Structure 1
Amino acid sequence: MALRGTNQEKARPYNRRIVLEYVRNHGPATRGDIAKRVGLTVQTVSTIVRELEEQGYLLSSKEAPKGRGLPPTMLHLNPDGGYAIGISVTPLGVDAALMNLAGDMLGSAARACVRPSPSQAFALIEELCAEMRALRPDGRILGVGFAMPGPFDVQAISFVGPTTLDGWSGVPVRARLEEVTKLPAFIAADTVAAAIGVRLYGEGAAMPQFYYLYFGVGLGGTMMQDGAPVRGAWGNAGEIGHIPIVPGGLPCPCGNRGCLERYLSLDSFSNRPAGQSQGEWVAEVAPIFHSAICTIENLFDPQTIVLGGLAPDELITALVATTSTLPTSISSRYDRTTPRVTASVGHQSLLRGAAAMAVSGVLSPRQEPALTPDRPRQRDPFSNGMAA
């Protein structure tokens, strides 16, 4: 969506977000560049920039002279102008990280807890958020992003079985999260948060169209289209773990048989036959994995499929290594410049994506939501005071 401001005085809060979003997305820029791109006058932009510099969101610098005249003043995002906390809750426990505006991870911590209940999880979240705040005790904490396994609100699938968070159905997650953190909260499925992290800071940074296949305790995924996640009518698009892929196969807690995640997931890997090595397991599931790859490609036509998630790096790498030869799909192109499947190792994408949701949710241009008794107006992050 194109960033466009308005030269009306009452629209100044919105215009601040427009200007800051332009610098966040496009890097160093002059006042003239910004004015031209977002449709504001240079005078309006200059006034907003002065405010954003005073509030610590932007920094300015001058390039070395290259000829006659003064070099232009370049505006940069101040990495320490604000911070966000990313939280992930999985059947294995709770993780948290602190991220600055440049996407740098400043610290992280984890608490192991098998299939945590809501009360256990929120107690751990309160502890972890206190640890993250202590990393920048005087910093402006903008919000918290929260990632958890999906799909959401689906009969017989959501919060059912060993790959989900049993007992979480009907829990007012946003309200509880804002209560324990005292911060604006933003929530998404773990597949969406991880895909956002890969798009902004990982293997998908140069590819606006890719599918992120999330290999966690279960299996899911998200298609990134033009740099944004495809969510679907109810926010569950791309959740392929419950595609029946083996007719009459293993029973699944969802009530079907032969679902993909019964064969390709950490839960499946952990329950492999005693004595079966990782290599043997990978060789056994490779045909099912390849079939899933072709299904994703024929449905979404991505530039590439990025495989990542909670699985150990060596397991992700071993699975990707089997894709040197794949069945034919619409991705079998003569002009390919990227492999059909790539690996995303390390587990930071999920927490980075969760934190990035909070940064965008607080700072990006948006229509102000209607106020309700259970969702009062949040403190303006562009005030001179600290957001938290």
Structure 2
Amino acid sequence: MALRGTNQEFGRPYNRRIVLESIRLQGPIARGEIARRVGLTVQTVSTIVRELEEQGYILSLREEPKGRGLPPATLRINPEGGYAVGIHITPFGISAALINLSGDVIESTYREAPNATPDHAFDLIGAMVVELTRLRAGGRVLGVGLALPGPFGVESMSFVGPTTMTGWKDVALRERLATSTGLPAFFETDMAAAAMGERLYGLGAQFSEYYYLYFGVGLGGVMVHDGSVLRGAWGNAGEVGHIPVVPGGEACPCGNSGCLERYLSLEALRRWNGSEADWVAEVAPIFRNAVAIIENLFDPETIILGGLASTDLLERLASSTECLHNSVSARKDRTTPRVMVARGGQHSVLRGAAALAVSGVLSPRFGQIFTAERERGRDLLKSGGIAA
């Protein structure tokens, strides 16, 4: 997705976010190149860059001259210019990490909390955030992002069954998160957060059109189009785990039977009575069917397999796709495998969750965040978040 500036109302803060996002994605980059990419004048970009430097979000570097004249200064994100906390809640427990603007994990922590109630979970989250932000006392903490299993707002599927947060129906997630942490708060499905983390810091940076298949307690996935996660009309696109694939198969808590995640998920593996290798051999035909369905629906450059499963397990599953079904992805001109294993590892969810908070300040791509911020009449970028 091309980042473009605007002269419309609220254009100034929007343009700052455009410029900063361009530096974050393409840096080190010169002012003139930013102007060309985003469609603003060099003068406008220079004014914005000066402001961002003063606020500590970016750094300006200049190489030693190799001939006549000075080479242009290039700009990059200041990794220590701000931090965000990523949180991931699963039916097993809660993970959290403090992450800088470059996506580096400063520290991470985990609390076992099987089937935690909202009150217990947010008490733990508040304590974990305090523990993490103390590591950068005085640093600028932009916000906190929460990832948890979806879907949201579907009566028969949301917060029902062992792969979701049972008992969390009607919880005011954003408000509870903000109250427990004292930070600007955002939330997203874990599969979308993981895809975002992989796009920013993993294999996804190499592709503009790919499908991220999230192998967690349940199974989900999202299509990343032009670098943006496709969320659907109600934000629930990607619940592939609830595609019925086995006629007359196992009953699923969603009300259907034979759903994909009843056979292909960490919860399904937990119920298996044999070795991991035997389980992979058992589910391989179902997995290959799932790959063909995804490819024919979305025509991705590749399917990136990631999530909470170990790299060894993901590699076993990827290896089981040597004899894939024919699909629109079975092209002679392919230059990449049809299925690849994510590089971001299990931190992808936390990085993606933290990126939600960072993007609430830096990125124009999150329309709902930008609109909400505009309605509040606040400029989070200029106010600089909250000091730890």
Q: TM-score, normalised by structure 2?
A: 0.93
Distance 1:162 1:204, change over 3 A: same
Change (3 A) 1:161 1:10: closer
Alignment of 1:163-178 (within 5 A): 163-178=163-178
Q: CA 1:253 to 1:26, structure 2 compared with 1: closer, same or farther past 3 Å?
A: same
| 1:347 alignment partner AA | Q
- In the alignment, structure 1 segments of 5+ residues that lack a partner are none
Q: Provide the identity percentage.
A: 61
Offset from partner CA, 1:319-343 (integer Å, 9 cap, x none): 1111111111111111111111111
DSSP-derived class of the 2:204 partner: coil
Report what 2:119 is aligned to.
119
Is the aligned partner of 1:356 residue 2:355?
yes
TM-aligned CA distance change 1:311 to 1:52, over 3 Å:
same
Shift, 1:293, TM fit: 0.9
The residue number in structure 2 matching 1:94 is: 94
* Structure 1 residue 72: Cα displacement: 1.4
What is the distance in 2 between the residues matched to 1:248 and 1:169?
Answer: 29
Q: What stretches of structure 1 move > 6 A for 4+ residues in a row?
A: 7-10
Q: Does 1:338 align with 2:339?
A: no
Secondary structure, counterpart of 1:382 in structure 2? helix
Q: Report the equivalent of 1:257.
A: 257
Compared with structure 1, are the counterparts of its residues 265 and 4 closer, same or farther at alpha carbon in structure 2 (3 Å cutoff)? closer
CA deviation after TM superposition for structure 1 residue 102, in Å: 1.0
- In structure 2, what is the equivalent of residue 233 of structure 1? 233
Query: Which structure features the higher share of helix residues?
Result: 2
Question: Which residue of the other structure, out of 286, 308, 311, is the alignment partner of 2:306?
Answer: 308
Correspondence 1:136-215 to 2 at 5 A: 136-215=136-215
* 1:180-203 per-position Cα deviation (integer Å, ceiling 9, x unaligned): 111111211111000111111112
TM-score normalised per structure 1? 0.93
* Corresponding pairs, count: 384
Task: Please say if residues 7 and 40 of structure 1, whose CA atoms lie closer than 8 Å, have aligned partners that are also in contact.
Answer: no
Q: Give distance in 1, aligned partners of 2:219 and 2:4.
A: 39
3-state SS in 2 of match to 1:324: coil
Q: Which runs of 5+ in 2 are unaligned?
A: none
Which residue of structure 2 aligns with residue 44 of structure 1? Answer: 44
Match of 1:29 in 2: 29
1:62-102 CA-to-partner distances (Å, cap 9, x unmatched) read 11212211221222211111111111001111101111111
Q: Which residue of structure 2 aligns with residue 298 of structure 1? A: 296
CA 1:337/1:36 → structure 2, altered by over 3 Å: closer, same or farther? closer
The 1-side partners of 2:151 and 2:212 are apart by: 15
AA at the equivalent of 2:205:
A
CA 1:255 to 1:9, structure 2 compared with 1: closer, same or farther past 3 Å? closer
Tell me how far apart the structure 1 counterparts of residues 86 and 133 of structure 2 sit (CA, whole Å). Answer: 12
Shift of 1:370: 5.5
Question: What is the aligned counterpart of 2:371 among 369, 372, 377?
Answer: 369
**Which deviates more, 309-318 or 299-308?**
309-318
Quote the RMSD (CA, aligned, Å).
2.1
In the aligned structure 1, how far is the partner of 2:8 from the partner of 2:371? 20
Say if 2:142 and 2:385, in contact at 8 Å, map to a contact too.
no
Question: Partner letter of residue 135 of structure 2?
Answer: L
The CA distance in 1 between the partners of 2:263 and 2:28, in whole Å, is: 47
